[in-house]
Amino acid sequence: MTTLDETRVRIERLCYVLLIFIGIMAFRLVRLQVLQHDRAGRSETKREKIVPRRAGIYTRDGVSLAVSPEGVRICANPRAVLDKEATAQALIPLLEMSQGELMDALDRTEVGGRKNYFVKLQEMADPETARELEAASLQLWQAGNTASPRAVYGEPFNYREYPRKDFASQLIGFVNCRGDGVEGIEQFWNDMIGGRPGYMEAEVDAVGNPIPNGRRRFFPPEEGSHVVLTIDDRIQFYTEQAAQAVVDAFQPNWVTAIVMNPRSGEVLSMATRPGFDPNNIPERLAGREINRAVNFPYEPGSTFKLVTASAALADLPPDKLAVKVNCKGSIRIGKHTIRCWILAKEGHGHGPQTLSDGIKNSCNMAMVGFGRMLGKEALYHYAEMYGVGEATDLGCPREKRGILPDLRTWDDARLANISFGQGLTVTPIQLLRIVSTIANDGMMMQPYLVKEIRSAEGETVQRFHPKETRRVIPEAVAHQVGAMMERVVAEGTGKLASVKGYRAAGKTGSAEKVVNGRYAPGKFVSSFVGFLPAEDPKLAILVVADEPKGSHWGSVVCGPAFAEIASKSMMRIRFEPTLLAERSSTASTTTSNSPP
């Protein structure tokens, strides 16, 4: 083949390839045009969520604990800024930003290098500053420095604020970045407080642009309802002060304290210290957000002896109730040796103890003796009646039930241990419910935290009332147990919890702490629980400290806090002292030997 022929063949092949390439491109172009035309002829509905303003949380006396004020954030449209330098100069006096920071913000670009439509210049500004910025933006537009009078503007938004900072923080909880409740009242009542979102629907084309004269529908949001708690602002303050004093003096992991009206079941205060500020959540809360009053099941120790005493008084015949149990400091039951706290402290036992002596002196051996007289079926029955293993349904998230072991697992050693508060668990609110039942003549009340629900307009739409749960013990038995508890404060292990001007009834507790299924040496949960006035109870109070240092005795660690809360709270409810004279100096100043 000649050179001319070869050249001609190559040109023909090249033309053939070129024709194929042009054909493919033409096909793709036609296909793209057809598809785009088809898409342009179709529409869809775009829905935009409208979040309602979150309702407030208030104390019974109207103090704001959580509110949602309307704030203003300052925003800008960089694409509308024609002269960055002039715009920055005009805004510097009004914003907490340097010229360099402003220039960077106004020059911010999206991925791909295009300028943003939106940048946030300042998260929070007062309304007056927002108005001044919008006026400056108008002037910039009039001067030709921007392409829009709203190149800089204020955008209203709702935010969550806790005016009292760490006040009742575990009880209230907080909200996350999505505005949903986390922990506490914020979480449990989230649907009520958060309201119902609204929506804006608009007909848009394939690329998301609103279609002129297209369908539009608006579904307005429903604002949430305000929650009014049973919490008393001043009593909560006194409770937190006293709890913090225990933290400062004994460095426990935490302290929780609760005050309840035993006649109604209303919780007047619920505090855990240390707390946290929900306005400024740290990266690691380290468990400070947990409401220990409802989420911490622990072995109650000696405070549970009140249940054993109640059961004995209700079920045992007079001849057995008259028995004195001899405390030698320890007792052998099967393979187990059970000891009384006084043995390690004094090297001997309490000697002969009546049931009342056993409560006054917090004698383990006395309670073991009466528990064995009762038998496991009776003691189990009364523990169950008192609500051990049963949630209080208080209205807090993740409330623990505690543990009442299955009766089939009760051998002689377990019966003995449970008689003085080991081998079962309760939460602080469950223990206070037990003592409130004794204070309320044996009738258990449903504890509650929410007093009423109010609409967004402030009208009461639901009100909560006291509710009887069940009768646990006869009224006469409750009075007898109350008299024993009064001896604890006047003569026994609880002298440091005495309250000037009132007859107080109480019980100390120093329970060995269980860690990983074993009693941890040197670790205790200390507590004091009681009510006053003993003759006509108005308040029931519990103080619990986890692993205090320096002392683990409930009377030493928690007794003075009980007295402090009680004294100030009685003044708060304007209940006059019921004693005409103070107790003798011996009864009011003698320190307990070693109160459990």
Average pLDDT for 243-262: 98
For residue 33, pLDDT beyond 60: no
Residues 63-88 pLDDT 10s:
999 999 888 888 888 888 888 889 88
Same domain, 53 and 139: no
The C-alpha atoms of residue 434 and residue 387 are separated, in whole angstroms, by 8
Same domain, 190 and 137: no
- The residue with tokens 């405390």 is 327
Q: What is the pLDDT of residue 206?
A: 62
For residue 574, name the pLDDT band (cuts at 50, 70, 90): confident
Q: What share of the chain is helix, strand, coil (3-state, %, to 5)?
A: 40, 25, 35
Question: Do β-strands 57-58 and 325-327 pair in parallel, antiparallel, or remain unpaired?
Answer: unpaired
Residues 172-191 pLDDT 10s:
999 998 889 999 999 999 99
254 three-state secondary structure: strand
Read off the CATH number of the domain in which 164 is found. 3.90.1310.10
Average pLDDT for 263-281: 96
Distances (CA, A) of 475 to 266, 438, 571: 21, 9, 28
Same domain, 138 and 247: no
Same domain, 145 and 187: no
Residue 28 neighbours by CB under 8 Å, 6+ apart: none
The C-alpha atoms of residue 178 and residue 479 are separated, in whole angstroms, by 52
Query: For residue 284, is it within any domain?
Result: no
Please say which residue of 158, 176, 197 terminates a domain: 158
For residue 215, pLDDT beyond 90: no
Residue 250 or 586, more confident: 250
Average pLDDT for 289-303: 96
Same domain, 139 and 259: no
Same domain, 188 and 332: no
The C-alpha atoms of residue 454 and residue 266 are separated, in whole angstroms, by 18
Q: What is the pLDDT of residue 459?
A: 94
C-beta of residue 268 within 8 angstroms of C-beta of residue 469: no
Tell me how many helices (H) and strands (E) the chain has: 21, 24
Same domain, 465 and 539: yes
Q: What is the pLDDT of residue 260?
A: 98
Same domain, 433 and 358: yes
pTM score: 0.82
Same domain, 122 and 245: no
DSSP E strands in 423-570: the ranges are 443-445, 450-454, 460-463, 468-471, 505-515, 518-532, 539-546
Query: For residue 193, is it within any domain?
Result: yes
Same domain, 147 and 255: no
From 57, 65, 103, select the one nearest 83 (Cα to Cα): 103
Read off the CATH number of the domain in which 111 is found. 3.30.1390
For residue 439, pLDDT beyond 70: yes
Alpha carbon of residue 454 to chain centroid = 21
Q: What is the pLDDT of residue 443?
A: 98
DSSP E strands in 248-359: the ranges are 254-260, 267-273, 325-327, 330-333, 336-339, 351-353
Same domain, 343 and 194: no
For residue 24, name the pLDDT band (cuts at 50, 70, 90): low
Q: Quote the domain boundaries for residue 195.
A: 44-69+159-206+218-229
Q: How many structural domains is the chain composed of?
A: 3
Q: What is the pLDDT of residue 116?
A: 65
Q: What is the pLDDT of residue 490?
A: 96
Give bridge partners of residue 72 from the DSSP assignment: 125, 156
Percentage of the chain beyond pLDDT 70 is 87
**DSSP letter for each residue of 372-418:** HHH-HHHHHHHHHHTTTTS----S-TT----B---GGG--HHHHHHH
For residue 279, name the pLDDT band (cuts at 50, 70, 90): very high
For residue 170, pLDDT beyond 50: yes
Q: Which of 102-106, 206-210, 222-226 has the lowest mean pLDDT?
A: 206-210
Same domain, 240 and 381: yes
For residue 38, pLDDT beyond 60: no
